[in-house]
Amino acid sequence: MKKSVKKTSLAALLLISAVLLLSRFGITPQNHRNQVYVSRVIDGDTIELSSGEKVRYIGIDTPETREKKGLEWVYAPRPYAKEAKDLNVRLVQGRRVRLEFDAQRRDKYSRLLAYVYVGDKMVNVELLKAGYAMIYTYPPNVKHTEELLAAQKLARQEGKGLWRQAASGVISSYEARHNVGSIRIVEAEVYDTFISDKVLILNCGNNFKVAIFMNNLEYFPKEFSRSPDSYFKGKTIRVCGVIKKYKSAYEIIANDPSQLEVL
């Protein structure tokens, strides 16, 4: 009986010692199972785990560090790409993080899609707050859309990071092609619209487009989806956001009404 008590006491002592040791590193038995180790930061919105898995942050997009020239990818960082990566390094590299998944677990590149937490902080949100990322909501992964939008709104109001570029003036739809990767305000005339169950597209001159995903249309006036041609066709708009090249066109994805104005 005494031996049994001693064994129980020893086991309890070892358990307590293990809990205390884990606590020193901010790991508790409850959340340790959900945590993974970040071995490398690839860029502002992508990391690699010790398992070799790559994780793409849900709901945000940071400036690209590389661009494709011919068949090769070369290092050609867009404005604030380095700052975004550096902040990501400071937040997660060499640390344990917790991953929270949404409706889709992987993207077409087989990367894990996740909201990444260090302690109670969501890294996706921290990058937005610093102005080194823009919200990039893509259905059906929309669990934290409101929280991400609030973080972006704060960064824009304070003119942080990427949002400093937006204060440099309005450019034409033709000039959009020379500002890929930058946040700019583009003024353009809408000559046509297209709407599906996934996205509303405003086609403008000079091969420039504005895209609004359906999950975000609820934040915009109802006329946008009821009769987009009547609301936009022939009118001049101003849209603020990151200019991207998609296939042969140039576009800005609008996730919030504050990004789009009808003149």
- The model's pLDDT over 52-68, given as tens digits with 9 standing for 90+, comes to 999 999 999 998 887 76
Domains and CATH numbers, the chain: 32-157 (2.40.50.90), 168-262 (2.40.50.140)
pTM (2 d.p.): 0.76
Of 144, 47, 61, residue with least CA distance to 91: 47
Residues annotated as part of the active site: 56, 64, 111
Burial, 243: exposed, middle or buried (Cβ in 10 Å; 0-12, 13-18, 19+)?
buried
Average pLDDT of every residue of the chain: 86
pLDDT score at 26: 39
At residue 87 the predicted structure's pLDDT band, cuts being 50, 70 and 90, is very high
Q: Judge whether residue 101 has pLDDT over 60.
A: yes
The 10s digit of each residue's pLDDT in 233-261 is: 999 999 999 898 888 899 999 988 889 99
